[in-house]
Amino acid sequence: MARLIEHPDYATNSYENDIGLIILNDTVPDSVATKVKVYANNFFLEIPLEVAGFGFENLSNGMNTDELTKVDMKVGSDEYCKQIVEEYNYDYLICTESTVGKNF
């Protein structure tokens, strides 16, 4: 990875603007590259999602991984996410239910 460009308004204490660009050193061969899935429709409970990013290796000590990871998750209920994230807003956030061993 050559560079990671965070959203200019990203704040680590909230989920707003939690997006960025990854600039690679080299071109990724077609045999390795995976096309991005863009979800443009409504989300319903239990819809499977593929999520990629830099998550946590270990939630208990807050260690981030520096390796890009992909995990399969499911859309969670608004009630579930409001219990976990007080500022959860379904207008611009997608709730995923946490999966043991897939800390994202």
Domain range list for the chain: 37-84
pLDDT at 8: 92
**Res. 102: pLDDT tops 60:** no
In terms of average pLDDT, the best of 2-11, 31-40, 71-80 is 2-11
**C-alpha span between 16 and 56 (Å, rounded):** 18
- Tens-place pLDDT, residues 17-52: 878 888 889 988 888 777 766 666 666 777 787 777
Burial 14-48 (b: 16+ CB within 10 A, else e): eeeeeeeeeeeeeeeeeeeeeeeeeeeeeeeeeee
Q: What is the pTM of this model?
A: 0.48
Q: 53 pairs with which residues across the strands? A: 69
**C-alpha span between 70 and 48 (Å, rounded):** 13
pLDDT at 104: 44
